[in-house]
Amino acid sequence: MNLRQLEVFYAIMRAGSVTGAARNLNVTQPAVSNVLKRAEQQLKFKLFERIGGRLHPTPEASDLLPDVNEIFGRVGTLNRVMQEMRDGRTGRLVIATSPTLVHAFLPRAIALFRSRNPAVHVSIQSLPTPLVVERVARREVDMGIVYAPVADPGVDAEELVVTEIACVVRKKHPLARKRHIGAEDLGGESVISLGATTRLGMLIEDECRKAGVPIPDVAIEASSSLAACLLVSEGAGIALVDRSTSLSGKFGDLVFRSFRPRISVLVQLIYPRDRARSRATVHLSEELRRMAPKDRR
């Protein structure tokens, strides 16, 4: 029996009549009768007998039913899986991003995404930006969140948000009273920031040099903006960080003040080039865009 014949047999067994099977299959009654007739001819035995004007399965049909039930049970499972894949509710999603952006953007977005897609397994890799770009280009992850610029030909980059460098101080620090903190205000302070070889570190040096103001003398190099903020909380100094770190909502004892010269920071979503994005990837990207703060340009 081919799949169409099995489908008709299964429909008749469930409906108890050719008429009911035709209605459930959305075809005509003669079409169902013809498929059934051809199946019985191929099998060389009857599947149904008409007794008292009603169809009754033969013993052979009853013997076939458990296996046919199993087949269509698996077909139903397959249909549900494909529906979930279409809606982005199942599968695996691998994201790579820097430690700062993990804490700034992902926690709430992942929580909302998982509440709507509980069957999707999510894996997060916290890596330096160059490694994030490399893994996306190699198609080892589904998407990345990085600081611009990204010039690798193996990725597609899209703007997520433009944030800025902020100066972070404890609430009781004298600089907390200022609306803006300039590079000249940092003299004599213990400055905490990312290393000079990181994207943010290079950006701070370049923009200060262009503006003709003193380049902050970094006393403590932190591995991420989050680590820098934790150091400020402990009284180790004041920090220059990506303002999006404040989105974590974990620093009630600190204040984030705009730094001068103003230094814009572009955050991008990146994807493997020439690879279709899964539904799960698209849905998480949408969550991130909804949650991203308005541009600070």
Residues 106-148 pLDDT 10s: 988 999 999 988 888 899 999 988 999 999 998 889 999 999 9
> What's the pTM value of the predicted model, to 2 decimals?
0.67
Q: Which pLDDT belongs to residue 295?
A: 53
CA distance linking residue 26 with residue 143, whole number of Å:
42
CATH of 90-161+267-291, one of 3.40.50.2000, 3.40.50.300, 3.40.190.10, 3.40.50.620: 3.40.190.10
- Is residue 21 within 8 A of residue 11, CB to CB? The reply is yes
**How many Cβ atoms are within 10 Å of 229's Cβ, its own excluded?**
24
CA distance linking residue 221 with residue 9, whole number of Å:
72
Contacts of 226 (CB under 8 A, 6+ apart): 99, 100, 103, 245, 248
CA distance linking residue 243 with residue 228, whole number of Å:
12
What is the fold of 162-265?
A: D-Maltodextrin-Binding Protein; domain 2 (3.40.190)
CATH of 3-87, one of 1.20.140.10, 2.30.30.40, 1.10.10.10, 3.30.1330.60: 1.10.10.10
Residues of the chain with pLDDT under 50: 296-297
CA distance linking residue 29 with residue 35, whole number of Å:
10
Find where tokens 């572009």 sit. Answer: 266
Whether 162-265 and 90-161+267-291 are alike in CATH topology: the answer is yes
Question: In the chain, where are the structural domains located?
Answer: 3-87, 90-161+267-291, 162-265
Q: Which pLDDT belongs to residue 103?
A: 83
CA distance linking residue 201 with residue 213, whole number of Å:
15
What backbone phi and psi angles, to 5 degrees, belong to 270? -125, 145
- Is residue 56 within 8 A of residue 46, CB to CB? The reply is no
Q: Which pLDDT belongs to residue 296?
A: 46
Question: In terms of Cα–Cα distance, which of 75, 84, 88, 67 is closest to 9?
Answer: 67
